[in-house]
Amino acid sequence: MLTSKTKIYGLLGYPVRHSFSPLIHNSAFEAKKIDACYLCFETKPENIKEAIEGIRVLNIQGVNLTIPHKETCLSHLDEIEKTAKLIGAVNTIVSRENRLIGYNTDAEGFIKALKEDLRFDPGNKTVFLMGTGGAGKAVGISLAKYGARQIFVVEKNKKKAKALAENIQRNFPNTRVELTHTHNQEAIRNSHLLVNATPIGMNLNDNLLVNPVYFSPQLLVFDLIYNPAETKLLRAARKKGLKAVSGLGMLIQQAALSFELWTGEKAPIGLMKRSVKR
């Protein structure tokens, strides 16, 4: 039951109606007997400054950020944790003594899901990465951090693609980065993992970004989209007999890390998983 003492957490994004985050976090709060509530706050891009100031004004304890706010929020925070600063994107804000501190739990959440759901270790592997937004940057940096040999980067915004490539090569010189396009058959065929970090696929009418004809038998596919549960990319990969997973595992892993930052308690990750699989 909500009371005058209930702590408020939430999600800032546009859109947010598809989000499973309230279900995940509210299940965790209930299980841990924490008097807290997690809500969605649909926030248009032009209102992000006011929304973040509202966290402070309304004494909201913390929020997650999703499309399109993970990068634009940076200039409105009091402090940015070093990993989030390296990535250049924040997906978790903690309110601490009236200071708003930005963290990135996407990066570690992605790696945890990658290892658990696909049994994949990026060390010395080649990855084809589509998208360099907030989530895409977290994926790229985490792959390099964990020893990827080569990352092919696809992004229609060449300036953003170049910025990510330079950031990876500056901080992880052992990882080779090459900017490419979705029709690079050789790059796709030589990759061990293909990651979609774009929102293309959320709409059932979206076209495939890549031609499944290019998929080799060794390829694993990770689509960061989790709603719908099966995108056209996942369906095409599975039709060819490939192991392919949605972003649901990553959503849960990053949520668990956010929960621990906010509460200081161990996240009940098993329950968080069950909450979205009922």
User: Which position among 5, 33, 44, 70 bears the catalytic label?
Assistant: 70
**H/E element, 165:** helix 158-171
Does 44 participate in catalysis according to the annotation? Answer: no
**104-146 residue pLDDT tens:** 999 999 999 999 999 999 999 999 999 999 999 999 999 999 9
**67-94 residue pLDDT tens:** 999 999 999 999 999 999 999 999 999 9
What the chain holds in terms of domains, given with CATH numbers, is 7-105+250-275 (3.40.50.10860), 119-242 (3.40.50.720)
Percent of the chain with pLDDT over 90: 97
Report whether 67 contacts 13 (CB < 8 A). yes
Q: Identify the pLDDT of residue 277.
A: 80
Q: How would you classify the pairing of strands 99-103 and 92-96? A: antiparallel
The 10 Å Cβ neighbour count of residue 172 is 19
Q: Does the structure show a pLDDT above 80 at 278?
A: no
**16-56 residue pLDDT tens:** 999 999 999 999 999 999 999 999 999 999 999 999 999 99
Q: Does the structure show a pLDDT above 70 at 163?
A: yes
Q: Identify the pLDDT of residue 153.
A: 98
Q: Identify the pLDDT of residue 248.
A: 97
Tokens 């061990």 appear where? 192
* DSSP helix/strand/coil, 52: helix
Proportion of the chain in helix, strand, coil states, percent, rounded to 5? 40, 20, 40
Phi, psi of 7 (to 5 degrees): -85, 140
Which of the four pLDDT bands, split at 50, 70 and 90, describes residue 101?
Answer: very high
267 alpha carbon, distance to own chain's centre: 18
Tell which phi-psi region holds residue 88, choosing left (phi > 0), alpha (psi between -120 and 50) or beta: left
Residues 6+ apart with CB under 8 A from 1: none
Q: Identify the pLDDT of residue 204.
A: 84
Report whether 103 contacts 92 (CB < 8 A). yes
- Residues in the chain, total: 278
Q: Mean pLDDT of all residues in the chain?
A: 97
Please give the model's pTM, rounded to 2 decimal places: 0.95
* DSSP helix/strand/coil, 109: helix
